[in-house]
Amino acid sequence: MKMTVIRRTPLDALITRKLGLSGDMLNRDLIESYQLKKLNETIQFVLKNSPFYKNKFSGIDNPGIKSFKDLERFPMTSADDIAKQALQFLCISQDEISRVVTLESSGTTGNPKRIYFTPLDQELTIDFFRHGMSTLVKKGDRVMILLPGERPGSVGDLLSAALKRFGVIPVPHGVVRDMNETLSVIRRHEINSLVGIPVQVFALARYSEFKGIDIHLKSVLLSTDNLPSLIVRELERLWGCRVFDHYGMTEMGLGGGVECDAHAGYHLREADMYFEIVDDSGKCPPDGKYGEVVFTTLTRSGMPLIRYKTGDISRFLTIQCECGTQLKLLDKIAGRRENLIKTRTDRSFSILDLDEIMFATPGVIDYTASVNDILNASKLSISALTINTSGEHASQNKAYDIRKIASIINEKLGTDLTIKIEESHCMGDLTIARGKRRIAVSR
């Protein structure tokens, strides 16, 4: 069996440079000293320039912090705050903004969130992408980008710029809409690595197997949504590739953390952001305990964010990564706080629990789910997209019965939900909603 060499995460070199260090000088004390200094600078910057934070922090007598514990005195920032008052966050003139990203809000206002970036803010993202991608690919590799990239400053555009900086050839494609066309491009351009949305890439892999199209890749990076472990295993089996997970969101400047060769969790972008895990009381529990991921930007000039609540549930791992880095290790996301479904039997489940069941079903390449009540759910509706089982390929795809999924879900989740499942067949076309997948709530 071929042994995997665990290399040091390339984020070490990036953060060493940003801290003004050299060689192997990087350690936790230096990282945290830098972060504490940057936190104080950022707080002073927003108090001077951001109308939103001037008002939000007006009741804090001494806004300086001497320890990370002092940061708990500052109220957190929510997605609803941005949806209601995005322009009030700005610390510079709108003329200095080069990119505005509009996001659908899942908060109480229903208003979209608008996130503002300067050219320097986006340069920081390119730099992070350049170092993070060097774990997966090297000079001369050809990387297909299955992310939005049509507009200047979009995630695909920034990733293309990052890859070019170390001699990698980007092949922008955009999100998958026609799987036959995407697979044709992979073969025509001799792609050996790709970056995409987990469910889309999973669908592409299962469809390629169904069509008998032989695809071999060296690596895949998945981003923009939670990554079920089953998808990782299927991609490794079908394409023989290494699969890496990236953690980020637009509010972070698109990049937050990325796995190294050890695949033990996310190494974080600690020179540009300070991360916290916060429990229900608003305090930071000891490392190893679960809570909500909260971050503060340290180097953003256009729209800095202080203690922004991501809604993601995770924890800091207490082990040191095999790669030897001094960077913190964030565990895989365990779910979304806003989308944890509770049932009448006092059981809870999330989209990630359904993923492990639905995607384990042969033929299923995507699905949507809804419940009747997020706090007392009794009915679950699922619409499953499956590879076409009719005609000449029918015999290859009758290894499953979509109707049996209902009993499997109740058995594995320990629930007594009334489950309705509808199935539709895919002939190669694929549409997927933008943003993080969730269980919809119908009334």
Give me the CATH topology for the region 136-247.
Rossmann fold (3.40.50)
The reply to whether CATH 3.30.300.30 applies to domain 340-441 is yes
Q: Please answer whether residues 198 and 226 qualify as being in contact, where contact means their C-beta atoms are separated by less than 8 angstroms.
A: yes
Regarding pTM above 0.85, the answer is yes
- Please report which residue ranges of 277-416 form alpha helices under DSSP H: 351-358, 405-413
305, 297 contact by CB (below 8 A)? yes
Copy the structure tokens of residue 6.
């665990």
**pLDDT value at residue 109:** 53
Q: How far apart are CA 250 and CA 253, in angstroms?
A: 5
d(C-alpha 416, C-alpha 413), whole Å: 9
Integer CA distances (angstroms), 319 to 168, 265, 267, 322, in order:
33, 10, 12, 9
User: Percentage of the chain with pLDDT > 90?
Assistant: 70
pLDDT on residue 397 = 43
User: What's the maximum distance between 2 C-alpha atoms anywhere in the chain?
Assistant: 74
Beta bridge partners of residue 384, listed in sequence order: 367, 423
Q: Say what the pLDDT of residue 1 is.
A: 41
What is the side-by-side strand order in the sheet with 169-172? Answer: 169-172, 142-146, 193-196, 219-222, 242-247, 257-258, 266-268, 329-330
Assess whether the region 11-121+259-337 and the region 136-247 belong to the same CATH fold: yes
Domain boundaries, the chain: 11-121+259-337, 136-247, 340-441
Count of CA atoms in the C-beta half-sphere (13 A) of 52: 21
**What is the pLDDT, as a whole number, of residue 4?**
66
Output the pLDDT for position 427.
74
Is residue 266 within 8 A of residue 329, CB to CB? The reply is yes
CATH topology of domain 11-121+259-337: Rossmann fold (3.40.50)
- Stretch (H or E) spanning 31: helix 28-49
Predicted local confidence at residue 347, as pLDDT: 86
Strands 219-222 and 193-196: parallel
pLDDT for the residue 105 = 62
Rounded to whole angstroms, the Cα distance separating 89 from 81 reads: 9
pLDDT at 3: 57
Pick out the chain residues at pLDDT < 50. 1, 389-399
What residues are paired with 101 via a beta bridge?
115
* DSSP code for 359: T
Element (H, E) at 246: strand 242-247
